[in-house]
Amino acid sequence: MELAVKLASIFFTMILVDNYVLAKFLGICPFLGVSKKLDSAVGMSLAVTFVMVMATAATWPIYKLILVPAGAENTARDLSYLQTIVFILIIAILVQLLENFLKKFIPALYKALGVYLPLITTNCTILGVTILNLDNGYDFIESIVCAAGAGIGFLVAMVLFSGVRRKVEQAIVPSCFKGLPITLVAAAMTSLSFMGFGGIVDAIFKV
């Protein structure tokens, strides 16, 4: 029970409080680039969620077993400085492998994810979630839950913002604000609204 509460707390914290896009400001590029249409926003988010979980499942053991084996912290054997380059390598290999796999065995999903799958190979949210999981000292299960939460949080942010954006596009804005500037202002306000969730998850799960 305690474990379930803890995992739920991590999951919802990632969605509402520590939302990767709106609170940690990672993945702003797809957030602004792909949020124009609702269906592409959802497609992209699902692909991100999928890859996040897979990447976490692959990088966590590699970090704990190869880069920093038990007892090697702060010794000469501590290769944690390699995590960025190794993680990028692993995520790139993983996405490529995943694409091949989906193409062969689940063509429907491959079609649905389409161009977004290769697009997120070097996305900073993916790298971010793998690294921050380790920084937070999560164990394997917690890391996976955290990655799934981060993905769903990304989905929530994308869907919300694609709605905001549709309103913004129809609004009459001063010509100097047209296009990207007003989109960024709108993004800032959406982000501010998420600040209101601060502490809510801690209060609910009493952690």
Give the interface with other proteins as residue ranges (CB under 8 A): 62, 66-67, 76-77, 79, 82, 85-86, 89-90, 92-93, 96-97, 100-101, 103-105, 169-170, 172-173
Q: End-to-end CA distance of the chain, in Å? A: 13
Name every residue whose Cβ is closer than 8 Å to that of residue 140 and which is 6 or more positions away in sequence: 60, 61
Minimum CB distance to other proteins smaller for 66 or for 207: 66
- For the CB of residue 140, give the shortest distance to other proteins in the complex, in Å: 19
Minimum CB distance to other proteins smaller for 93 or for 207: 93
- For the CB of residue 130, give the shortest distance to other proteins in the complex, in Å: 14
Minimum CB distance to other proteins smaller for 67 or for 129: 67
Residue identified by tokens 């091949």 is 100
Rounded Cα gap, residues 98 and 113, in angstroms: 11
Rounded Cα gap, residues 165 and 19, in angstroms: 19
- For the CB of residue 62, give the shortest distance to other proteins in the complex, in Å: 8
| Alpha carbons within 13 A on the beta-carbon side of 183 | 17
Minimum CB distance to other proteins smaller for 8 or for 92: 92
CA angle, 81 then 121 then 88, to 5°? 15
- For the CB of residue 69, give the shortest distance to other proteins in the complex, in Å: 11
Nearest to 161 by CA among 56, 45, 57: 45
- For the CB of residue 28, give the shortest distance to other proteins in the complex, in Å: 25
CA angle, 89 then 133 then 71, to 5°? 85
Distance (Å) of CA 184 to CA 20, 181, 187? 16, 5, 5
Minimum CB distance to other proteins smaller for 101 or for 140: 101
Residue identified by tokens 């689940």 is 106
Minimum CB distance to other proteins smaller for 95 or for 146: 95
- For the CB of residue 7, give the shortest distance to other proteins in the complex, in Å: 30
